[in-house]
Structure 1
Amino acid sequence: MLRYDEDDLVTYVAGHSSAVALVVDDTSDDLAACAALRRAAVRVSQIPHPLEPDSPLPNWCTVLHEDGVPVFHLDMKDEAQYAEQVVAIVLDELRSAGVDGQLGPRLPPPPPFDYDAEADIFYGQTWPLTELDGRDLPPGFPDGFPVPAGATLVLAETARDGTWEHAAWRRDRPFDGYTDRLRAFGCELGPVPRDEVAGFVAATCMVRYPLDRGGSVSLYHEWCKHGRQPSAWYVSVVWSTGPAPARTPPEPAVPVTYHLPPGQETAGETVLAVREAALAVEAALSGPHCHHEPSLPQWTHERLAPLFDGLDDDRLAAVRHACLTMASNWVYHGMVRMRLPLAQDDAGRLYAPDLRTAVASPGGEALLALRTAAAVLEPLFQNLRAAELAVGADRLTRTVEDLDADELAGLRDACRHVAGRTGPA
Structure 2
Amino acid sequence: MNKHILIVGGGYVGLYTALRLQRKLRRELRDGSVSVTIIDPQSYMTYQPFLPEAAAGNLSPRHVVAPLRRVLPKVRILNGRVTKVNHNDRTVTFQPPEGDEREVAYDIIVMAAGSISRTLPIPGLTDIGIGFKSIGEAIALRNRVLHLLDLAESTEDPEVRRRALTFVVVGAGFAGVEALAELEDMSKHSTRYYRNITRDDIRWVLVEATDRILPEVGPEMGRWTLEQLRERGVEVKLETRLESAVGGHVVLSDGTEFDSDTLVWTAGVKSTPIPSGGTLPLDERGRIKTTAKLTVDGVTDAYAAGDVAGVPDLTNPGEYTTPNAQHAVRQAKVLGDNIVRGLRGEKLAEYRHKYVGSVAGLGLHQGVANVYGVKLRGLPAWFMHRTYHLSRVPTLNRKVRVVVDWTLALFFKRETISLGEMEHPRDGFRAAAATTRR
Report TM bin, short chain: under 0.3
- TM-score for both structures, normalised by structure 1: 0.24
- TM-score for both structures, normalised by structure 2: 0.23
Higher relative contact order (CA 8 A, sep 6+): 2
- Tell me which protein shows more strand as a share of its residues: 2
Which structure: larger Rg?
A: 1
